[in-house]
Structure 1
Amino acid sequence: MLAGDAGYAHHVIIEDEHHIAFLSKFPTQPGYALVCPKAHVEDLAEGLGEQAYLALQAMVHRLARALKRTFPTERVYVLSLGSQAGNSHLHFHVVPLPPGVPYAQQQYHALMAEHGVLRQGEDEMAAQARRIAEAYAALDQA
């Protein structure tokens, strides 16, 4: 997406000069989003200076708050995954866990595509992205 591949479009929630947040193409939970820097960064510890890291985390934090305002949420999971063999671009998964999910199906289980991916149409994904973006913007007024 960041490389300009039109075949890999996502539903963008919010972006600024340096970061972008968008819905996962393969969500396991409603509102499953990712946040990443626009510049290609592979290493969290060495690839970002402290101020750049804090700015990225500010978007992660605000997105988590917006997700809680958009979806019934027991907890918001935030984690950085990726692999040099697969997706080496630094990104954070920001995922609202709905209330009532049994403990055995929480944590990694709730995020793994192997346990099922939600089938959502383009219109539904676009509407979700809009609602989250509206909640994100409303944080400035709170």
Structure 2
Amino acid sequence: MVYEDEAHVAFLDRWPTVPGKVLVAPKAHIEHVVRDLDEAAFSSLMLVVRRVTLAVEAVFGPERTYLLSLGSQQGNAHVHWHIAGLPPGVPYERQQFHALMTENGVLAPTPEQKADVAKRLRATMAAG
């Protein structure tokens, strides 16, 4: 767990394709990223996405940060945002969607490495 408040959670991706990939989701079951949220709830969710993204950028120093809301009614219907920082130096042909597709490989951090990343992200958020 990277972050939690009364309405949102942020946690490390189970199958990260880049270091420190985080998912942010509302606790309430929401299926459509815009139309199922009123303006206040959408703004609140996006402020959490921003806060977590700033921590990912501070800890990992990515060349670019990708923000995506993926999913479908057939799978992963619950709204969630992916925060993926592209490491510096990744060749252009391995950036963007290529860098996010599990078919191109996933990282396998140890439980200790995951705990360390989550701790560093939490500390960065607490300090900022």
- Regarding TM over 0.5, the answer is yes
* Equivalent runs, 1:64-83 vs 2, <5 Å: 64-83=53-72
Give the structure-2-normalised TM-score.
0.97
Partner of 2:110: 121
Give percent identity, aligned residues only: 48
**Which secondary structure does the structure 2 equivalent of 1:135 belong to?**
helix
**Which secondary structure does the structure 1 equivalent of 2:84 belong to?**
strand
Q: What letter corresponds to residue 69 of structure 1 in structure 2?
A: A
Partner of 1:17: 6
Partner of 2:81: 92
Structure 1 residue 36 and structure 2 residue 21: aligned? no
Partner of 2:93: 104
- Consecutive unaligned residues of structure 2, counting only runs of 5 or more, are none
Which residue, 10, 26, 30 being the options, matches 2:15?
26
Q: What letter corresponds to residue 120 of structure 1 in structure 2?
A: P
In structure 2, distance between residues paired with 1:55 and 1:61: 10
Which residue, 17, 20, 35 being the options, matches 1:46?
35
Partner of 1:137: 126
- In the alignment of these two chains, the number of paired residues is 128
TM-fit CA distance, 1:68: 1.0
Q: What letter corresponds to residue 127 of structure 2 in structure 1?
A: A
- Consecutive unaligned residues of structure 1, counting only runs of 5 or more, are 1-11
Where in structure 1 do 4 or more consecutive aligned residues deviate above 4 Å?
Answer: none
1:39-95 CA deviation, whole Å, 9 max, x = no partner? 000012221001100000001111111011101211111010001111100000001
Give the structure-1-normalised TM-score.
0.88
